[in-house]
Amino acid sequence: VQVLRNAGEEVTLTVSFLKRAPAFLKLPLNEDCACAPSDQSSGTSSPLCDSGLHLNYHPNNTDTLSCSSWPASPGLRWEKRWCDLRLIPLLHSRFSQYLPGSDLCRQNAFQVIAVDGVCSGIIQCLSAEDSIDWLQAIASNISNLTKHNIKKINRNFPINQQIVYMGWTEEREQDSLQDRMYTPKFLALRGSSLYKFIAPPVTTWDWTRAEKTFSVYEIMCKILKDSDLLDRRKHCFSVQSESGEDLYFSVELESDLSLWEKAFQTATFLEVERIQCKTYACVLESHLMGLTIDFSMGFVCFDAATKAVLWRYKFSQLKGSSDDGKSKIKFLFQNQDTKQIEAK
């Protein structure tokens, strides 16, 4: 460097080519390159291969440099091709437009996180349209990979234990004092249950180690409108368990929300179709009773001791219901003969 500084305004450099240099520098040879030039006479490369510039050499290559300002030299050619800086497998990976743990959305930027935690870093797009296009393309690929994986896994499970849905969400922490407002959670709908994991289940043993498990026919899922949102995150839904516990989840795209809603409806339908009938112990006027919900017949209330039926109604007769959020429930049925509303 010092010699060049002291050499004056004009410097003449003599360059010689060493055949062993490509191997030493780990440069690809022309025949091994994935991007062949689209014009053999000019040596120009495909427009798709314009992210990097590499010097390739082959003794039999007579292509010259495509740029007229560079001196032509037999056997040398500049070639453009993609360089892989980081590879992130998309199966069970997740992506986010939000700052980690918050409801602050990045402007035209996102990051992709692999299942093993490897992160793409912040990917900044030139416009909101470009960002959405990338997110939708990534989401589509993740969805297709997940569907294919579910098909393979379901081969090892019985009919009543089939997986309907698997995917990442972010759960809103109920403790507002937490540093992180949102935490990534992996949800799965399998058989009669909704599973909540901190990481995707890989082995059969992993399914027994879910953070929480709920029966799909004993929980209520609600897709939240804009007026119901608790913060600046869009595309949210809530899950209320039979114990009254409320869980609040966020997904990245509207398509993710639609996918979840359809999957939950499918899982609920399949489970209702499978069990057909469910009986609950209850108390009516200080007497121990049984309340049976038969999905092909309707509602039946009977004495727990004598099994005598007190009343029976079809689903078509149910006109309304309410509860106190704890232990009491009230049904409003329409009498088929009198057309009067009867409260139970």
pLDDT at position 57 over 80: no
Q: How far is CA 92 from CA 72, 84, 136, in A?
A: 49, 21, 16
Domain boundaries, the chain: 13-83, 94-275, 277-343
Q: How far is CA 189 from CA 50, 60, 84, 245, in A?
A: 44, 60, 36, 18
pLDDT at position 343 over 50: yes
DSSP string, 177-238: TSS-SEEEEEEEEETTEEEEESS---STGGGGG-SEEEEGGG-EEEEPPGGG-SSS--SEEE
Of 87 and 29, which is predicted with more confidence?
A: 87
pLDDT at position 42 over 50: no
Question: Confidence class of residue 332 from pLDDT cuts 50, 70 and 90?
Answer: very high
pLDDT of residue 20: 66
Work out the average pLDDT over 72-78: 61
Question: Mean pLDDT of all residues in the chain?
Answer: 84
pLDDT of residue 1: 72
For 94-275, the fitting CATH number among 1.20.210.10, 1.10.10.10, 3.30.1480.10, 2.30.29.30 is 2.30.29.30
Question: Confidence class of residue 25 from pLDDT cuts 50, 70 and 90?
Answer: low
pLDDT of residue 242: 81
Q: How far is CA 113 from CA 34, 53, 122, 166, in A?
A: 27, 28, 10, 16
pLDDT of residue 75: 59
pLDDT of residue 177: 61
Maximum mean pLDDT: which of 238-247, 257-266, 278-287: 257-266
pLDDT of residue 85: 83
pLDDT of residue 65: 39
Share of the chain above pLDDT 90, in %: 62
Strands annotated E in 75-177: 76-80, 94-96, 109-113, 123-124, 163-172
pLDDT of residue 199: 95
Cα torsion 86, 119, 224, 295 to 10°: value is 80
pLDDT at position 201 over 70: yes
pLDDT at position 105 over 70: yes
| Residue among 266, 119, 282, 146 nearest 201 (CA) | 146
